[in-house]
Chain A
């Protein structure tokens, strides 16, 4: 009980501060509306169709980008990790391409797709792809030598090796990659909407700010935060559930 109280105390303190400080004039009320005002705004937003349009549009870009990036990362990871020598030759190229900020692609996608949602998908795919690929490569490095040798002794075919030996080792790594990719994908979905002007929450925030609708702006920022928390929680939940058999998850559950 005390523990539970402890874990909500931070939120409570923040909520009280956010409510009281603007009312007492400690913070400029115009720029920092009290929390209750934001919550009211949030609820009235939730009643509008526009808000759900924003939300669905952002979620769609996010989901498509994440799926494409994951598929590309898995295929590229298997190809680079399992073809002998491929890793040595691609190493420098990967190390060169990876630090290139995904936002460098923004002007390019504007030229090709304009403000359609595909712009966001391309940005997400580029940024999230590396997360999945790197985790795949870590995972393939981690395959147990005994398991590998056993598979060889039993003359597993290449597909047999992938399905029975590589894949189970890979899964936890892949999930870590997808989890990281999922939150990065949200960042880039919102970025695309803000900078390129694709329809979605990001554009809603910019529109609210330029039209001086400050409570709306804050409410939408809070929504993006809630989406982020939702994605994190869901990803961790799915990971725990699907990898229940895996030692890394079993151990944390036992503690």
Chain B
């Protein structure tokens, strides 16, 4: 018991030493900074405490999070719903693939003006921007995952005449899920980026809007505190996603480890 806690502490120390050193260095180097654009880190942290752990969390961070969740959920659902039939039927896939390749290649921010024209500057536009960007990795990975399903399992299903919904729930989706989750992970980071860009474009509320407003009004420490908040936002979401991934794919990791050991 004592040994394992010692081990954990040792690992924690290894993980923390470089980040803490960098943080300390930045704090020390910037302490006497008189540069207007790069204020001392201590001031940024003080603003961070006042702004983002205070009222701004409710007025800016939560709306951003809400839009991200809405857009991301739609992207996940649509990506899987469209991807499964494309993965199952080769003819359909061949017809759709070139079109999908083209739309995927359009940088998602380029669609913001189009969506602004169609939906205005409101939440609908921002959610739509997130969907148009985040859907691609999810969709393409779903197609690959469904296409690459284990052929023995496929034939087993056929032998036992497992068809329709039962086949979908018990064979197609589970066997594609590791790959779908990979797509979802990429989709999430794209979603965060697009959330910020769409807010910077239509400055009302949200993290991206707040940062760009601070920058335009030259409230530099406030701006950097927003950048810090955004970094923590991205980091926190990736941690949450990793927890979800570990839980949802527990069976898969267990199986893979078994295979590796044998």
Binding site for B on A (CB under 8 A): 3, 6-11, 13-14, 31, 88-93, 96, 98-108, 110-112, 183, 186-187, 189-191, 194-195, 201-202, 205-206, 208-209, 214, 217-218, 220-222, 224-229, 231-232
Contacts and interface: CB of A to CB of B under 8 A. Distances in A.
A100 B231 CA distance: 4
B227 A104 contact: yes
Contacts of A224: 106-107, 110
B196 A104 contact: yes
A107 B227 contact: yes
B6 interface: no
Interface string B50-68: 0000000000000000000
Residue of A93, A104, A108 most packed against chain B (CB within 10 A)? A104
Contacts of B189: 99, 101
A107 B211 contact: yes
Contact of B19 (A13, A93, A103): A93
A187 B16 CA distance: 33
B110 to A, nearest CB: 5
A225 B211 CA distance: 29
A232 B109 contact: no
A6 B234 CA distance: 41
21 contacts: A6-B94, A31-B118, A88-B14, A93-B18, A96-B235, A100-B230, A103-B200, A104-B227, A104-B231, A107-B211, A107-B223, A108-B224, A110-B215, A191-B197, A194-B110, A195-B201, A206-B113, A221-B106, A221-B114, A225-B105, A228-B105
Interface in B209-256: 211-212, 214-215, 220, 223-224, 226-227, 230-231, 234-235, 237-238
Given A96-B19, A99-B237, A209-B113, A228 B106 contact: yes
A202 B109 contact: yes
Interface size class of B (residues with CB under 8 A): 35 or more
A107 B208 CA distance: 10
Q: Which 10 A-B pairs have the closest CB atoms?
A: A228-B105, A209-B113, A107-B215, A225-B106, A99-B238, A92-B15, A100-B231, A10-B95, A99-B234, A187-B107
Nearest to B111: A221
A201 to B, nearest CB: 8
Given A187-B107, A225-B105, 8 more contacts: A10-B96, A13-B95, A93-B19, A93-B22, A99-B237, A191-B197, A221-B111, A229-B101
Nearest to B192: A101
B98 A10 contact: yes
Contacts of A9: 95
Contact of B227 (A7, A108, A191, A229): A108
B178 interface: no
B101 A31 contact: no
Contact of B112 (A31, A91, A99, A194): A194
Interface string B15-27: 1111100100000
Nearest to B19: A93
Contact of A31 (B37, B91, B117): B117
B149 interface: no
B160 interface: no
Given A31-B118, A101-B192, A221-B110, A229 B91 contact: no
Instruction: Identify whether the interface residues of A are mostly helix, strand, loop, or mixed.
Output: helix
B89 to A, nearest CB: 11
Contacts of B95: 6-7, 9-10, 13
B82 interface: no
A6 B89 CA distance: 13
B74 interface: no
A225 B111 CA distance: 10
Nearest to A210: B113
Interface string B79-117: 000000000000100111111011111111111111011
B94 A112 contact: no
B201 A194 contact: yes
Contacts of B235: 96, 99-100
Contacts of A89: 14, 17-18
Interface in B4-20: 14-19
B162 interface: no
B12 to A, nearest CB: 9
A191 B109 contact: yes
A214 B113 CA distance: 10
Residue among A98, A112, A201, A225 having the largest count of chain B Cβ atoms under 10 Å:
A225
A10 B95 CA distance: 5
Contact of B94 (A7, A205, A218, A232): A7
